[in-house]
Each structure stands twice: as structure tokens, then as C-alpha cells.
Amino acid sequence: MQIITKEETIKNFINNQWVESASGKVIKSISPADRQVVGYVQSSTKDDVDSAMNAAHSAKKEWWRMGQPARGEFLYKAANILEQNAKPIAETLTKEMGKAYSEALGEVTRGVQILRYYANEGVRKEGDVIPSSDKDALLLTKRAPLGVVGVITPWNFPVAIPIWKMAPALVYGNTVVLKPATESAVTTGKVVECFAKAGLPDGVLNMVTGSGSVIGQEMLQHPFLNGITFTGSENVGKHVARMAAEKGIKFQLELGGKNPVIVAEDANIDQAVDAVLNGAFRSTGQKCTATSRVIVESGIYDQFKEKLIEKAKTITVGNGLTEGVWMGPCASENQFNSVLGFIEKGIEEGAALLLGGKALTGPEYDQGFYIEPTIFEGVSPEMTLAREEIFGPVIALMEVSNFEEAIEMANDTKYGLSASIFTKDLNHIMEFMDEIETGLVRVNAESAGVEYQAPFGGMKSSSSGAREQGEAAKEFFTQIKTVFIKKV
């Protein structure tokens, strides 16, 4: 497979046209594998946001009036076009973000599945008939869209996350203004192009790119914005929530995670080791559901640790477009420096470094942002490694004496996104399901993973509570109207 060398420019997409930013400026998208230019995206301005918002506002009434089945047909078309272009889009994703090609292709395939799922929503019910106390009346509910929805997405899933937000927003009758993360906006632009080729009417889907502090802020304060869905950092998410609350509009936040895996004494150790490595190091640990803390009962701690280190040493790190590479680089220089900073902090605070902990060097690594798979032990609950989201290939091993202590330690975090347990004990499984304080609960499976037809979201500081994906998405992207019809 050849590395992509063609430079591309992704322009703003407004009113079904690819247009240059009012600034006339572009931003380089740099590959984290070798620092080569993957392409360019527009440096959008407040005027660009205003144009996109106006286009979405002007289009919303006709889009809603089109009807849900017709809107679903556009998603079917977009799914087919995305599927036809899956390989080149996956290659661009790998080049731009660093994710191994097999994972990138899997993400694009997931995008196709999500589009087809929500296309089917076009012919599912949009309300209920409710018994009325008046025998001469009909009482029912129906759904209405919010209107113009702002979509702000991160760099780590530049295909799947924009789609799982845009697809339900569109099928339920909203128009969309999308702001993807600049670091992977070339990839997201290719996804938007699939929607454009599907023939969406003018103004239904619009994209602007550039600084979040400028265009994200402008989106949030625009008078035409009726709802906002955001995935990203906790600090920015809190700002989004404050501004949305002041405007009185709906907001949906998916933020950080500090996801634990409990390995009980009766666990299948080989199964647990494989799942921990996948959960912690696939996508270079750059998933909100990535395994971060591994809490192991003392009876099997040494055996588990030995097998984990032995297998972690076999992980191949390199350019994700190279066949056989298991783990790619950190997605950017900033992320690379952030992860190294967490590793240094762990050593300073007294955690024992068992494996890795350094930037990789050598001819194949020197131009990229590569970090060794890293494992610490002796991590106490008050250490930074146990408290903060690292978003990189770092595992904190934590030893406990029993199952009850494991649950207590797993819940000792401000986050509550995902958690997993490995055990054969049904009583422990049932207790884990009830006691763990996360929105995603996994048993004998890695912490990272969600199916597109199931609700996704966290508890505590990980989420605003509104769930994404599956039927649950309808609750955010629509409003309920209660209708009473009386005979005359």
C-alpha cells in the first residue's frame, strides 16, 4: 500500500458548495507519522459561520416538511457512496490521524453501518397513541426536530463520530452545521463529500473548519442555533454547557474517561491480557473508552503482570499504512508531548515503570510522534496516573486484595464512561452491573467498544446524560408534541 502524497484542500461546505473561507487562509494538516502535509483545510471566520448558520436556518423548514422516509433515503445514498470510497477514506484517515489502517477501515465500515441504521429510522414510528379519558378524543404524541443543530467533533474518530451525530440529526428533520477538529478535518471533509454526492438539498448540511475558540464560539452564540452536540475535552465541554444553558437550548456532551478493568482471581487470564492490550493500546490509547486503570486481585496479580508485559513487548509500532503495524503514532505533537508529560509525572510521583515510557527513536520514528507502549505498577489512587485522562498508550496496574476493594477503586474517579470486568462468578457479574458507576458496562470484554444500535454515553463528569446512537439519539435530536384531537 502506498503512502498518500497528494495534497488536498478541504474548503468550507455551505449551501451544497465547496467555498473558500472569507479569510482566504488555509491550515496545514500534518501527518503524525512523518510530519508530511496530508492536505489543507480552511481557516474559517465568524462570517463563514454566519453564512453556514443562515444556510441551515433557511433550509430547515423544507427539510422537515420533506418527511422522515424521504430523509432516510438520502442517508441510504450517502452510505452507499461512503462504502464505495471506504479504502481511500481509510487511507486518508491513517495518514492524517495515525490510526492503523485496519482500524481506520473498520471505522469507515462502522460509519456505513450507522448511516444505514438511521436510514431505517426513516420508516420507524415517530410517536405514540395514548388512551384518552375522553372517549370522543384522540390523544397522541409526535416528534418535532430542534431546528439547526451544531455538531463539534474530535480528531480521534473523524469518520464515525461526525456520522453518529449527523445521521440522527438529519433523519429526524434537523439541519446541521459541522465543525470537525482541524487535526483530522481532511478526512471528515471526505465524509461530507459523500453526503453532498447523495444530493442533500441546499443548506441541510454545512461544514466550517478552523479554530474552536473562534468558530466554535461563534456557533454557540449564534441566534439561529437550536441545539449543540459536542465530543471533546472536559473543560471545553463545560464551556459549551454554560453557553447552551444561557441560550436555553439543548446540549449533549461526551467528554473524558478514566476507564477501569477489573481482573478477578477466577478470570481467564489470557483473555483478560488480550483485552487489556487491545483496550489500552489500539488507536494508541486515543479513545475515550480506552483502558487506563487495570485493577487486579492479588491472588493472580504477578501471573497477570508477567503475561501482560510479555505480550506487550510483541506490539509493533510504526506508520499505520505499513502492513503488520499494530499501533501508530500519537495524533499530534501536542498529544505526544502531553503523554510524555504524564509518564514523567508518574515517575516523579513514585509509580514503578515496568515497560516503555519513552519516545521511540530510529530512522522510521524520528519524524513522527511515536511512544512506546507503557505500563506502570505501584499506582495509588491519589496519583495523577490514576486520576487524569492520559489519552495515550499508558496502563496503570493497581493491585487489590478482594472484589469489594476492586469495585471501590474502580469507582474512585470523577469520570464514569466505561468499565469492564473479567470473571466467571455470576454473583460478581451481577454486583458489578449494579455497583459500577459507568454508562457502558462490559463483562469479559475490553473497555473500549460500543455497538452502533445501542445507546452510548457516560455518567458523572463523562457526559451530560443525553445518550448517543441507537434509538436513544431520538431523545436528544427531537422534541415531543402532545396532540389532543376532539370529535366535532
Is residue 182 a contact partner of residue 39, using CB atoms and an 8 Å limit? no
Joined together, the cell numbers standing for residue 35 give 510530519
- Pairing of the two strands 129-130 and 37-42: unpaired
Number of helices and strands (H, E) in the chain? 15, 22
Joined together, the cell numbers standing for residue 13 give 461546505
AA identity, residue 18: W
How far is Cα of residue 438 from the mean position of the Cα atoms in its chain? 16
φ, ψ dihedrals at 38, nearest 5°: -85, -35
User: What is 313-326 written as a DSSP string?
Assistant: TT--BS-TTSTT--
What is the per-residue burial (b if ≥16 Cβ within 10 Å, else e) of 229-255?
bbbbeeebbebbbebbeebebbbbbbb
Whether 265 is a known active-site residue: answer no
d(CA 118, CA 478): 14
Radius of gyration of the chain (CA): 23
Joined together, the cell numbers standing for residue 94 give 491513517
Is residue 27 a contact partner of residue 210, using CB atoms and an 8 Å limit? yes
d(CA 1, CA 134): 69
Is residue 78 a contact partner of residue 194, using CB atoms and an 8 Å limit? yes
d(CA 61, CA 137): 29
How many residues can be counted in the chain? Answer: 488
Tell me which residue has cell 458548495: 17
Closest to 210 (Cα-Cα) out of 415, 42, 445, 17: 42
* Active-site option among 183, 254, 377, 446: 254
- Pairing of the two strands 352-355 and 291-297: unpaired
Joined together, the cell numbers standing for residue 142 give 409526535
Is residue 395 a contact partner of residue 374, using CB atoms and an 8 Å limit? yes
d(CA 89, CA 375): 33
CB count, 10 Å around CB of 424?
Answer: 12
Joined together, the cell numbers standing for residue 65 give 416538511
Residues annotated catalytic, as ranges: 254
